[in-house]
Amino acid sequence: MTTHDQTFEALCQQLRKAAQLESINSLLNWDERTYMPSQSGEYRAEQIATVTSLTHDCRTDRRIGEWLDALADHPGLAEPASDVATVIRRARRDYDRHVKLPSRLVEELARQSVTGQQVWVEARKANDFAKLAPSLEAIVRLKREQAACWGYADCPYDALLDEYEPDARTRDVAATMEGLRAELVPLVQEVLGRDRGVPRDLLNRHYPQSVQARFGQEMAAALGFDFQRGRLDITHHPFCTEMGPHDCRITTRYDERFFPSAFFGILHEAGHGMYEQGRRPDQYGLPTGQYVSLGIHESQSRLWENQVGRSRAFWTHAFPRAQHAFPDSLGSVPLDDFVLAINDVRPSLIRVEADEATYNLHILVRFELEQALIHDELKVADLPEAWNAKYKQYLDIEPATNAEGVMQDIHWPAALLGYFPTYTLGNLYAAQFFEAMDREFQGIDRLMARGEFAPILEWLRTHVHQHGQAFTPAQLLQRATGQTLSHAALIRHLRGKLLS
């Protein structure tokens, strides 16, 4: 074994050790948001802060820097997409970012993110923004400090965005979202101007929670989510997390009077989960076994939720099963009525239940507000008023309460500022991936109508999941579709579904 080989192996062992610590943290966080007793929050925050500090120490070990310096002339770097080059390149990027953060800040952010989520649950339930505001103020202060430690190209928000979508710039994302908005708003108005005869009430019939859970799990498994390596649970705000190469947890929340809430939440999180399950297990903990960005991750969840799950072809296969599961609510409903109902377009207050056409306007609100928070152009105390004004501006509606307004998402209490724009990026990536796949298969609808979802998953495994961080999001998109990022595919998808 050469000196380079020995050094590279030492680096990999250290990265795997850090990943093990992070997986422990994931388990603690998953338990905190699912089954943890309500009075255990304070100690859980300390547990997570401790493990986060240990992980930070592991990732900032000075030996990593020394190993990376010694690997600067590794012959494997000649092939940028090789495993060796990917590990060295991404490990250098991550190490340089980690060492800029003091342990005190890392611990405090971890602690505040846990307590913030716990306060959010109670404050939202009580519709009491004043109860949540101190936690948000502390988080905003810490995130500004984090951005300052990392440094940035144009503005502090760049640093936070880069954590989730590497190399993205606020100005570029803003331009992309503005281009989408310019076509999306008139499209929504055109759809709203038509009388599509949508039977909206059928989704508000009685759908027993236990039956929803069985049906949702059955359909997630049919798409390809492996329940031998994953599970489905209940939470306040749906999420997906992994605790190892063969342990992926998805969650949802149920409403017995609104079928889409849990079902499409399950498909969405299963999409995330199939990306996790599709990564190379032998590379777990290394950049070669990690997801490339949250925008790409989101593309997987949105593709399965929308391009697949809201299509007529999917329900040609799935609707007889749904009718069997919910005979009282769907037994006499025509397929076309059901498909119209699940694709209803109308401005609404809740992001996770928004239709495909208006969803990105919800993201635009959050994108603009969190920039204003980080850049100290908006005070936390003024968030509810600013939120309501943005909803009036972009969706022409206003929430009656803060619980259905500014407090509906868990992201800011969880210290996830810079995260929201990746949802829109994910929608754009998803539309482009699906178009490319459709061209290659010469029509995916015929496969979905027969319940043949394996080819879709295999395409994604080949073009997205297996590459880890070998390519940037832009490179991955170009390789898979032959195109650069654009909103055109998403607009075509929406027009084809809603106006044809």
Active centre residues (catalytic): 269
| Sign of torsion over alpha carbons 473, 477, 478, 484 | negative
Provide the 3-class DSSP secondary structure of residue 232. strand
Q: Are 288 and 248 in contact (CB under 8 A)?
A: no
Determine how many CB atoms are found less than 10 A away from the CB of residue 416: 20
Residue 94, token pair as written in the block: 């991550």
Residue 115, token pair as written in the block: 């307590």
Helix 170-192 vs helix 421-441: angle between axes, to the nearest 10 degrees? Answer: 70
What distance lies between CA 88 and its chain's CA centroid?
26
Which residues face 252 on adjacent strands?
234
Residue 18, token pair as written in the block: 């850090």
Report DSSP state, residue 373: H
Distances in whole angstroms, Cα of residue 345 to Cα of each of 35, 98, 192, 359: 35, 43, 7, 10
Give dist(CA 343, CA 338) in Å, integer. Answer: 9
Which residues face 240 on adjacent strands?
250
Rounded to 10 degrees, the C-alpha dihedral 455/459/465/466 comes to 100
- Supply φ then ψ for residue 298, to 5 degrees: -65, -30
Give dist(CA 281, CA 19) in Å, integer. Answer: 13
Strands 240-244 and 230-234: unpaired
For residue 491, which of 440, 424, 438 has the smallest C-alpha distance? 424
Residue 291, token pair as written in the block: 């997801």
Residue 452, token pair as written in the block: 């043949």
Find the DSSP H helices in 33-128: 41-59, 62-70, 83-98, 103-126
Give dist(CA 326, CA 349) in Å, integer. Answer: 27
Give dist(CA 142, CA 400) in Å, integer. Answer: 30
Which residue type, as a one-letter code, is found at position 318? Answer: A
